[in-house]
Amino acid sequence: MQNTGNLNTLQANGRDDEIERVFRPLPRMVLEANMNPQDLASARKLAEEDFRAYWEQAALDLEWFEKWEQVLDDSQAPRYRWFAGGKCNIVHNALDRHIRTVNRNKLALVWEGEPGDSRKYTYFELYRAVNRLANALRNLGIRKGERIVLYMPPLPETVIAMLAAAKIGAVHVVVFAGFSGKALRERIQATNARCIITADGFYRNGKFTSLKPLVDAALAADEEDNVDVCVVVRRAGIDVNMTAARDIWYDDLVRREANEAETEIMDSNDPLFILHTSGTSGKPRGIIHSHGGYMTGVADTIKSVFDIKPTDFFWCTADAGWITGHSAVVYGPLIAGTTTLMYEGHPLYPQADRMWNMVDKYGVSILYTTPTTIRMLMRYGNRFPAQHDLSSLRLLGTVGEAISPETWVWFHKTIGRNECQLIDTWWQTETGQFMISPLPVSPLKPGSVNKPLPGVSADVVDRKGKPKPTNEVGFLAITKPWPAMFTGVLGDEATYDEYFNTIPGVYFAGDVARKDEDGHFWMLGRADEVLNIAGHRLGAVELEAVLCSHKTVAEAAVIGVPDKIKGETAKAFVVPGPNDQICEDPTTDARDAALTDELRQLLRQELGPVAELRSVVFCESLPKTRSGKILRRVLKAQELGQDIEDITVIDEE
Ligand code: PRX
């Protein structure tokens, strides 16, 4: 975590005026919101009285081939089945139906490569490209229910392949291109896929990274795999090894295909995709999402949370390899009929103004990114944003980790001109849709994810499921089913059940949170990254927040390390920031010792003597996933001298 401060810390530092403020939306925003305060009040009322009726209303906004028999079949709970008996296909709603409306010739997808090249697709063009690939996949013999692995960098073909798979009723399994060949192999095996779609490589950080050799190695190492076709997208036109009778260039595959393709009629609960995510066990779990519920939850929440208007230009910086890419780059924006922007490369390439340059160039109106990205760019100060016209922005969003009040305020002020509503959305791979988030009309408290969205019920509870008193820390629980909820964990019913039986009667999100006197939620990190020091529980994120509120700390990660007497104590890994001048003596040792002392005191002061910091290691960067999450378990494994597999996602920024 970086530069995160809790309110007390920041008040102590004399910066309470900004971060303690409640930021009210501009009157214009409220007036024009898709869900204005009256709508919101009645939506919440309806959802409280009958959450099924609320979600049924949302489903009715979409097109179905056949209406459901039951909004929610909970007879086999926790195997909830939304819109049971309904027939649909998400691609019909994301593409097909737009071709009959004014959206037909509107830009659906704009893609920019890292070297500066770009490609644009109208809804009509995207529809045709998807149809051609759908026909080709059918001609390869791929049928409804089959799994297709996409090991793809951010390219238009990634979107096309996801949609083409879904269109024919196949199940896509996107594997982040930053994962290792070993991770790819495991996912191919786990899903029993026969077809893989990949690319020759991609540009990132000024370099061309080859991808195909990793696929070759993964397939060569696996004698048991089923893969008999590997489709390769030509990104750079470099020479790659093509295995006869297995590998085929994407362009050759689709060249002669027809522009129209039947959309497979799916049952609402037929699987749409499998996406692997990390669990507490360290073994990735294949989270399954299905057509009907997922499309309903995603469509409803993106429309209300991001207030999508016909003139918007939507940029979510996530990679399609994560749930944010699925819901907020591909399905959500396309169902909403907006223009979605996709960028291939690194935000610092060729320099730290790349994102501001793109916002300016395309007139991006909604920018959705991660706190890590913001913090990274914040380090470069205000000079770069000031060089670009960011006035097209009207909404900003963040996701994936807690955003500190200080980072929030910088983003809001420097990028959002203090005018854009800043939406911090809490959700997960498993939830599929946004769950706890402000809306365009909500008053905002920097660092809080606001309230559960209409139709979503959440609380902060203890291990037994009893609600925690106001402001007390507990587990985040989702207390009623929601439509975009996952419908299973691949080959692992016990793990699926665990989400629902860890705390009786609710969905256990694995997060620690507190709810304040206004019912606003504050996320404090994963339950599995909670330290227990002498029987006192402390969230790693909470400790990091305090450390990061210190003016010289850019980023910090805290892990629990064994302690003979107290069970566990805290060890911090700290990346010093640009204001790294805290003592006269310029030697590193003296500086480190002085800073360590200050940090110890700060923790003691903010959280009490229990928050004892055993040691601080100063480092250049922290290990992170590409999506920006700090890999505390990597630090912990290093600390304990254990092996940690599959951490090729670490991105040295
Ligand atoms: O710990 C929460 C954190 O990310 C976890 C979910 O990770 P993943 O399934 O990879 O999905 C991330 C993108 C939706 C959560 O359990 N998280 C996500 N959003 C937030 C967050 N923590 C704090 N604030 C958020 N807005």
pLDDT at 645 over 80: no
Nearest in space to 393 (alpha carbons), one of 417, 423, 369: 417
β-bridge pairing 474-478 and 458-461? antiparallel
- Longest CA span, the chain: 74
pLDDT at 384 over 50: yes
How far apart, in whole angstroms, are the C-alpha atoms of residue 291 and residue 269? 6
Going by alpha carbons, the residue nearest to atom 14 of ligand 1 is 428
- What pLDDT band is residue 536 in, cutting at 50, 70 and 90? low
pLDDT at 11 over 80: no
At 615, the amino acid letter reads S
Going by alpha carbons, the residue nearest to atom 21 of ligand 1 is 401
* Per-residue pLDDT tens over the stretch 342-353: 999 999 999 999
Cα(429) to centroid(ligand 1), Å: 8
Return the bridge partners of 474, or none: 513
Q: Is 217 left (phi over 0), alpha (psi -120 to 50) or beta?
A: alpha
Cα(353) to centroid(ligand 1), Å: 26
Contact 638, 171 (CB under 8 A): no
**CA dihedral angle for residue 505, residue 456, residue 496, residue 623, rounded to 10 degrees:** -120
Residue for token digits 């996409």? 150
pLDDT of residue 283: 62
Give, as one character, the DSSP assignment of residue 444: B
For 467, the token pair is 């609600």
* Per-residue pLDDT tens over the stretch 572-625: 999 987 765 554 554 678 878 889 999 999 887 776 666 789 999 999 899 988
E runs forming strands in 131-259:
147-152, 171-176, 195-199, 201-204, 207-210, 229-233, 247-249
Contact 573, 623 (CB under 8 A): no
Cα(232) to centroid(ligand 1), Å: 32
Ligand 1 binding pocket mutation candidate from 523, 528, 529 (most atoms within 8 A of CB) = 523
Q: What are phi and psi of 83, to 5 degrees?
A: 55, 45
pLDDT at 649 over 50: no
Ligand 1 binding pocket mutation candidate from 326, 370, 401 (most atoms within 8 A of CB) = 401
pLDDT of residue 640: 84
Cβ of 129 closer than 6 Å to ligand 1, yes or no, is no
- pTM for this prediction: 0.83
Cα(426) to centroid(ligand 1), Å: 6
Q: What are phi and psi of 448, to 5 degrees?
A: -105, 145
Going by alpha carbons, the residue nearest to atom 12 of ligand 1 is 400
pLDDT of residue 14: 35
Pick the atom of ligand 1 nearest to 476's CA.
Answer: 16
Going by alpha carbons, the residue nearest to atom 6 of ligand 1 is 428
* Per-residue pLDDT tens over the stretch 173-226: 999 898 778 779 889 999 999 999 999 999 999 999 999 999 999 999 867 778
Cβ of 425 closer than 6 Å to ligand 1, yes or no, is yes
Handedness of CA 628, 629, 635, 638 (dihedral sign): negative
Cβ of 424 closer than 6 Å to ligand 1, yes or no, is yes
Cβ of 509 closer than 6 Å to ligand 1, yes or no, is yes
pLDDT of residue 136: 98
Return the bridge partners of 276, or none: 286
Cβ of 315 closer than 6 Å to ligand 1, yes or no, is no
pLDDT of residue 16: 52
* Per-residue pLDDT tens over the stretch 253-299: 999 999 999 999 999 999 999 998 865 544 678 999 999 999 999 99
How far apart, in whole angstroms, are the C-alpha atoms of residue 488 and residue 477? 18
Ligand 1 binding pocket mutation candidate from 427, 499, 529 (most atoms within 8 A of CB) = 427
Cβ of 423 closer than 6 Å to ligand 1, yes or no, is no
Cβ of 323 closer than 6 Å to ligand 1, yes or no, is yes
Contact 595, 552 (CB under 8 A): yes
pLDDT of residue 524: 83
* Per-residue pLDDT tens over the stretch 43-80: 999 999 999 999 999 999 999 999 999 999 999 999 99
Ligand 1 binding pocket mutation candidate from 399, 411, 451, 625 (most atoms within 8 A of CB) = 399
pLDDT at 9 over 60: no
pLDDT of residue 585: 54
